[in-house]
């Protein structure tokens, strides 16, 4: 347990129904008793855990606010320490005054993520679960929330635990095999060792692959809509947004700059940008817009290129096709009109027939977008790596296993292979926080907000 009792406002800043001041540490209840008086006359130190008193927060003889104080006794609290949560009215000033009183009564101000850090240090949750709490708080869509919730409930650690068990078993088999190399013991031979290594390698690779897809699900993917002027980019953007965020007009070159909008499509957050029409132009202002569109096209993770098929393609269309990345989605718009374009120029690119006017092709387009984004598909129940730190650890573990496999293949002694396995284990134990330095722990919790 930590010697210092800390406190912070745990609710979001701003106005709300209530604000909660959380106090945690050995002396949390004494601190709270000094600044909280119940209407019943009972003190907090006489309470069982999970019970509350109604009363007032006061400083000297001044009442700060009516309040409810809820007591949690160690180890049955979020932090694993004695904790009191004082709920006052949800105004910024009243919460700040109540916090000041608590600090005056002997608590220190909690640092960023200090409550969760204490929960981790007191064995209430592992590091991967602790990291997921910030993801739960910031989840922007339901899939991201489910993935973070699973991580909080130990999904990542469980998956890593299985790999660790396999590695430990393998290391033990190595030592038995080294001690009795001439005995024929079932499953103890270089061939089975190699198979186990390749199984572990495949599992780690799958886990590593979840990071990028998970990131897209959590943070969204930047997607630009590009095309010549007047092909229907803004109309498409409007359909995707189901709003009138972009200006739709039949005067070429209206969208001179980039219009951004965030939309949710089948659980994927798309950060859409409708760009200025890409074409050769002498107009200086328009040219600046075109240059920005080309830059955006090159930097976007996903490109939707719109073409008007009611007219034959010209040089502007053809040079745009040359600029497109391989995974670009081609929207063949104005399909309600007679097709006058040669569609064979797209060869094996992903195309979808579309009419913004008639709102047709949107289902196919949505599916194409989600399929492209979720190409390394993950399900909500999978273990998904949710931080760069976790990805780094998993990657180190993966590289160590590759090294172990190579060493086995070229016939290096099992001792040397064992060193690679130890490195792999160390990386995985760091991932879950079972063996981690203070610096790494501090780095993780620094990213949390105060009060969490």
Among 25, 113, 214, 277, binds ligand GDP (CB under 6 A): 277
Total chain residues near ligand GDP (CB under 6 A):
20
**Phi, psi for residue 338 in degrees, rounded to 5:** -70, 135
Determine, following the binding rule CB under 6 A, whether residue 334 of this chain makes contact with ligand GDP. yes
C-beta of 150 vs 335, nearer to ligand GDP: 335
The answer to the question of residue 293 lying near ligand GDP (CB under 6 A) is no
**In the complex, least distance from residue 321 CB atom to ligand GDP, rounded to whole angstroms:** 16
- Is residue 340 a contact point for ligand GDP (CB under 6 A)? no
Q: Is the Cβ of residue 258 or residue 419 nearer to ligand GDP in the bound state?
A: 258
Residues facing residue 61 across a β-bridge: none
Q: Which residue in 74, 217, 226, 231 binds ligand GDP (CB under 6 A)?
A: 231
230 binds ligand GDP (CB under 6 A): yes
Interhelix angle 127-138/114-121, rounded to 10 degrees, is 150
275 binds ligand GDP (CB under 6 A): no
| Per-residue three-class SS string for 13-30 | CCCEEEEEEEEECCCHHH
The tokens describing 29, both together, are 């209840």
Pairing of strands 259-265, 302-308: unpaired
For the packed helices 284-299 and 315-323, what is the interaxial angle rounded to 10 degrees? 30
Q: Pairing between strand 302-308 and 350-353?
A: unpaired
CB of 93 to ligand GDP, least distance (A): 48
Q: Using the rule CB under 6 A, which residue among 235, 293, 300, 351 binds ligand GDP?
A: 235
Cβ closest to ligand GDP, residue 239 vs residue 429: 239
CB of 279 to ligand GDP, least distance (A): 10
Place of tokens 């008193």: 53
Three-class DSSP category at 214: helix
Classify residue 278 as exposed, middle or buried by CB count within 10 Å of its CB (0-12, 13-18, 19+). Answer: buried
Beta-carbon count within 10 A of 41 CB:
8
* Nearest distance from C-beta of residue 283 to ligand GDP, angstroms: 15
Chosen residue from 249, 377, 381, 409 binding ligand GDP by CB under 6 A: 249
Shorter beta-carbon distance to ligand GDP: residue 167 or 331: 331
DSSP state of 277: P
Q: Smallest distance, Å, CB 252 to ligand GDP?
A: 7
Residue 301 CB-density burial (10 A; 0-12 exposed, 13-18 middle, 19+ buried):
middle
State yes or no: residue 229 binds ligand GDP (CB under 6 A): yes
Q: Which residues make up the interface to ligand GDP (CB under 6 A)?
A: 227, 229-235, 248-250, 255, 277, 333-334, 336-337, 355-357
């Amino acid at each position: 347990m930590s010697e210092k009792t800390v406190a912070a406002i745990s609710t979001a800043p701003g106005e709300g129904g209530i604000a909660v001041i959380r106090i945690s540490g050995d002396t949390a209840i004494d601190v709270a008793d000094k600044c909280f008086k119940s209407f019943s006359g009972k003190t907090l130190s006489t309470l069982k855990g999970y019970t509350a008193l109604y009363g007032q927060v006061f400083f000297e003889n001044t009442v700060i606010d009516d309040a409810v104080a809820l007591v949690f006794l160690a180890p049955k609290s979020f932090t694993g320490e004695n904790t009191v949560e004082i709920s006052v009215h949800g105004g910024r000033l009243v919460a700040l005054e109540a916090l000041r009183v608590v600090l005056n009564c002997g608590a220190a101000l909690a640092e960023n993520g200090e409550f969760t850090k204490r929960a981790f240090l007191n064995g209430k949750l592992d590091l991967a679960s602790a990291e997921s709490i910030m993801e739960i708080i910031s989840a922007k869509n339901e899939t991201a929330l489910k993935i973070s919730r699973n991580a909080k409930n130990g999904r990542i650690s469980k998956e890593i635990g299985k790999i660790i068990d396999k590695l430990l078993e393998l290391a033990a088999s190595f030592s038995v095999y080294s001690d009795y190399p001439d005995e024929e013991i079932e499953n103890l031979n270089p061939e089975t060792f190699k198979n186990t290594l390749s199984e572990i390698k495949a599992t780690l690779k799958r886990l590593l692959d979840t990071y990028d897809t998970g990131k897209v699900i959590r943070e969204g993917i930047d997607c630009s809509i590009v095309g010549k002027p007047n092909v229907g980019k803004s109309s498409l953007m409007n359909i995707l947004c189901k709003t009138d965020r972009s200006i739709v007009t039949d005067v070429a070159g209206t969208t001179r700059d980039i219009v951004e909008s965030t939309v949710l499509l089948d659980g994927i957050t798309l950060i859409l940008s409708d760009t200025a029409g890409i074409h050769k132009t002498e107009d200086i202002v328009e040219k600046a817009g075109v240059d920005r569109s080309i830059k955006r096209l090159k930097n976007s993770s996903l490109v939707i290129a719109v073409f008007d098929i009611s007219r034959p393609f010209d040089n502007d269309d053809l040079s745009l096709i040359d600029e497109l990345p391989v995974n670009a989605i081609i929207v063949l718009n104005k399909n309600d009109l007679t097709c006058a374009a040669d569609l064979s120029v797209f060869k094996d690119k992903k195309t979808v027939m579309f009419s913004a006017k008639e709102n047709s092709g949107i289902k196919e387009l949505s599916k194409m977008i989600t399929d492209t984004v979720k190409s390394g598909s993950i399900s909500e129940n999978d273990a998904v790596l949710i931080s760069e730190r976790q990805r780094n650890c998993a990657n180190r573990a993966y590289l160590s296993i590759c090294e172990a496999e190579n060493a086995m293949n070229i016939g290096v002694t099992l001792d040397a292979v064992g060193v690679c396995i130890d490195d792999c284990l160390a990386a995985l134990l760091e991932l879950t926080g079972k063996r981690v330095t203070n610096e790494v722990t501090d780095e993780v919790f620094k990213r949390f907000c105060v009060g969490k």
